[in-house]
Chains A and B, each alone.
Chain A
Amino acid sequence: MVAKTPFLERVEKALADEHLRGAVRYTAENLYMKRKAVMADLNALAVKGEAIGTFEELRARAQEIKLHTLAHLDGYLKQAAEQIRKNGGVVHWAKDAEEANRIVLEICKKRGARKLIKSKSMVTEEIHMNHALEAEGLEIVESDLGEYIIQLAKETPAHIVIPAIHKTRRQIADLFGAVAGHELETDTKTLAGFARATLRQKFMNADVGVTGANFVVAETGTICLVTNEGNGRLTTSVPPCQISLVGIEKLVPNLEDLAVMMGLLPRSATGQKITTYFNMITGPRRPGEPDGPEELHVIFLDNGRSNILATRYREVLTCIRCGACLNSCPVYRQLGGHAYGSIYPGPIGTVLTPLLQGFDQWDELLQACSLCGACAENCPLGIQLHKHIIHLRGELVRQGREHPLMRTALKAVHFAWTRPGVYRFVARSAHLGVKPFIRRRADGTEYLDNLPSIAAGWTNSRTMPAPARKPFHRRWAELQREEGAK
């Protein structure tokens, strides 16, 4: 028996966790249905001329915008950087996670900052920023409710948009109760109220606010934050210093393009027409303004992205991290996010993680997909995720990273089945070949069970039909005779 891989162990753990599966299924289904409804609304409005386009139209425009931006990324990055500087911000460039974290630490050191507050950001998860800062004795607190829950649980986000998707109310109440020092009720008002009161203090005392960015507008140097809780606004208005970490693929050329993206992002992510809060931050506080940071830093992060630019996978960089692929994925629905082991889970994580970090730890993710294509269908950028998974599997095969028995089986099938004579011989012999595994039902029909080797993967949980004694191609002549005789 082959030893269980860490991935398989995580899968089994997730599948055995009924709380997790119930919570994930409930929320993913809810988000999927809300998205579907809001897209139907959008299409109906567009037909009446009351929206800027149908889903398909917006998707086509968004694809064009993002692919154009990626094709001219150097120019747009330069323009964005110049504009941010003109607005009074400071621009940094980070090649990888280590560099990005070092830049953040240096900014904090220079300001004597000890306490940081953060709004929701996947890219800071990608570079494990919290660990890096905590290792230097700094305090960094997550202010997004879901992220706060995850931070207390010492976990990573289980979903790109809904980090605590896998947690039940009871589990959240227990985590908050441990901070409060007394037991908490499980109703939304109590839980959200507790987080709000606790985090409000953290906002007031923070030296630095850290954000990601949903978009950066190159023409104006504007950092755009899409949130529902208002924590993004507090993070960027209360602390005296703001640091925004931005993947280099996050650019859009201008405000008109931004409008197209914003037509798609909230709808795809949470089924909302627009989010509760949408911040557009163009520079630090100007003289005479009552709030906002006195210092604004933007760190543009590469961390493997530029390696993808010149490959067939370029369109993966058009992803706007809406999570629609997760919500529509039948595998994610079973597993939740942690089984993947990667920061970005679900279909986009399955494709993006090996592209950013190589195959070594991540080749197995690529097998955890039935290629149903629901992800591509629901992606607001039309990223052909299932196609990319096939081509990445192709890379695995070329590199010899494949289960040896599976490889032997597939090579044998290729040899035999691309030769029609051999194919027919094998088909005729199949019934004889599997004789030891043939079982008989009460009605006399046959099936297979207890198959050996890799085929046991099937028969452990499913019976298998027995091969016909006479395959179709051997019945063809008599069928024709019968029909002809009519």
Chain B
Amino acid sequence: MKVSLFITCLADHFAPQVGEAVYRLLRRHGVEVDFPAGQTCCGQPSWNTGHLDDARDFARLYIKTFARSEYIIQPSGSCAGHVRYFYPEMFPEGSRERQEAVAVGQRTYEFTEFMVRVLGVKDVGARFPGKAVFHNNCHMQRELKVQEEPLEMLRCVRDLELLELPRPDLCCGFGGAFSIKEPEISTAMADDKVDAIAATGANLIVSSDLGCLMHQGGRIEKRGLPIRTLHIAELLWEGVQQNGR
């Protein structure tokens, strides 16, 4: 099987190790991976702030870049959700571009969604001691409707205790530009989320969205709390390496 990796602008800039983890895990399960060179960003920042025409340019670039990809794998539920849920409505109904947008959305997968639903892999053979809470980002749970897949993968990780978070559906307050435009509200939301996580006794927040993790992790660092944030692919890959030792 051959897939293309869309790294996302956030992982490219701030967390290349997440891209590496996704790549290594896919390779480990016999998947061929390419990395189309023209890729940049899904365009969510433009769309969410109302720069709708600009957002369409990003959609066109993505569609063009991945025109020949059978599967497009993203380490972000939010960006994958944006592609699948919002790209189509950027183009007139009945247009060729609309068709292409729908099709590219159907070929786009969030990483755990692809692993579980397409590859049928839940257990990657990882060992990772810790007490973790999984934070599902809003677009992943509501637009992609991916909720169980990451949990199923985490439950297979040896020595990892997965703790229940009350109201896991509540937004953590990242929201892209919202976190900068409305920092007071965004931070209050982060505090609620982080307090709820701390109350479970977790020392690890795992997510498939780097934005949420940067936001929660940044708040945790300012508050000096003993909780680590980790992308799910990173946890799984670290866990595979630990298990191998």
Contacts and interface: CB of A to CB of B under 8 A. Distances in A.
B221 A467 contact: no
A473 B7 CA distance: 8
Contacts of A356: none
A475 B183 contact: no
A334 B185 contact: yes
A111 B27 CA distance: 84
Contacts of B199: none
Contact of B214 (A372, A391, A464, A470): A464
B51 A414 contact: yes
Nearest to B218: A462
Given A397-B52, A465-B15, A472-B11, A334 B175 contact: no
Contact of A463 (B12, B52, B218): B218
Given A330-B171, A367-B178, A373 B7 contact: no
B225 interface: no
B35 A335 contact: no
Nearest to A21: B188
Contacts of A470: 16
A418 B53 CA distance: 12
Contacts of B187: 461-462
A383 interface: no
Interface string B185-204: 11111101000000000000
B83 to A, nearest CB: 15
B169 A413 contact: no
B221 A410 contact: no
B184 A11 contact: yes
Given A335-B185, A370-B189, A475-B20, A394 B178 contact: no
Interface residues of A, number: 64
26 contacts: A11-B185, A335-B185, A370-B173, A370-B178, A372-B138, A372-B142, A390-B47, A390-B48, A390-B52, A393-B48, A413-B46, A414-B54, A420-B61, A423-B9, A458-B180, A460-B183, A462-B214, A462-B222, A464-B214, A465-B15, A465-B218, A471-B12, A471-B16, A473-B37, A483-B23, A483-B27
Interface string A446-486: 01000000110111111111111011110110010001000
A219 interface: no
Interface residues of B, number: 65
Contacts of A473: 7, 12, 35, 37
Interface of A: 8, 11-12, 15, 29, 330-331, 333-335, 367-374, 376-377, 390-397, 402-403, 406, 410-411, 413-414, 417-418, 420, 423, 427, 430, 447, 454-455, 457-468, 470-473, 475-476, 479, 483
A324 to B, nearest CB: 14
B106 interface: no
B229 to A, nearest CB: 10
A373 B138 contact: yes
B103 interface: no
Nearest to A441: B221
Contact of B16 (A376, A390, A459, A475): A475
Interface in B7-45: 7, 9, 11-16, 19-20, 23-24, 27, 35, 37-41, 45
A312 to B, nearest CB: 11
B52 A374 contact: no
B109 interface: no
B96 to A, nearest CB: 20
Given A455-B180, A457-B180, A417 B185 contact: no
Interface string B61-73: 1000000000000
Nearest to A329: B171
